[in-house]
């Protein structure tokens, strides 16, 4: 199996998306983040941009999980019984994580100005949890291959 490099790349991708998402927007001439907006429209525009960026990051993670699920299904066709059981467990874990990401996408897309900060925090936590899960999954698969 050549899954270890893919998991490392996926972990790096998730880490970079989380890093980008955690950076605060810069909204003044010196590039400092003040968190203050002159108008409600500016605040809503910023929230819309953040919301779309977060939703896109979550969709990318969902798509990565889908690719991994497809790969696991393909590998299961030629796997031994023991390996097939391990892959089935991995597939279930990924399916559960995908469901969490999908729920978070819905919450992000339906967030209001009043709920956005909490939803954004939850989405960031989901991205971090999925990243940790991929790291653990990669370690598990590496140990099984040793």
pLDDT (average), residues 76-92: 90
Residue 92 has pLDDT above 90, yes or no: yes
- Residue 67 burial by Cβ neighbours in a 10 Å radius (0-12, 13-18, 19+): exposed
Sequence ranges of the domains in the chain: 3-18+53-76+83-145
The rounded distance, in Å, linking the Cα atoms of 18 and 81 is: 37
- Residue 109: helix, strand or coil by DSSP? helix
Which is nearest to 116 in space by CA: 45, 57, 67, 29? Answer: 45
Residue 57 has pLDDT above 70, yes or no: yes
pTM over cut 0.75: no
Q: Distance between the two ends of the chain, CA-based, in angstroms?
A: 11
pLDDT (average), residues 26-36: 45
């Amino acid at each position: 199996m050549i899954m270890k490099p893919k998991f490392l790349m996926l972990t790096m991708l998730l880490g970079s998306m989380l890093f980008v998402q955690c950076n605060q927007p810069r909204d003044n001439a010196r590039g400092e983040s003040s968190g203050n907006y002159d108008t409600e429209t500016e605040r809503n525009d910023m929230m819309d941009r953040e919301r779309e960026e977060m939703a896109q990051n979550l969709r990318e993670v969902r798509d990565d999980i889908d690719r991994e699920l497809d790969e696991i299904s393909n590998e299961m066709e030629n796997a031994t019984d023991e390996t097939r059981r391990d892959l089935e467990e991995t597939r279930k874990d990924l399916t559960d994580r995908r469901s969490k990401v999908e729920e978070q996408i819905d919450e992000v897309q339906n967030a209001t100005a009043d709920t956005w900060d909490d939803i954004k925090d939850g989405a960031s936590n989901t991205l971090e949890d999925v990243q940790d899960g991929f790291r653990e999954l990669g370690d598990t698969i590496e140990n099984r291959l040793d």
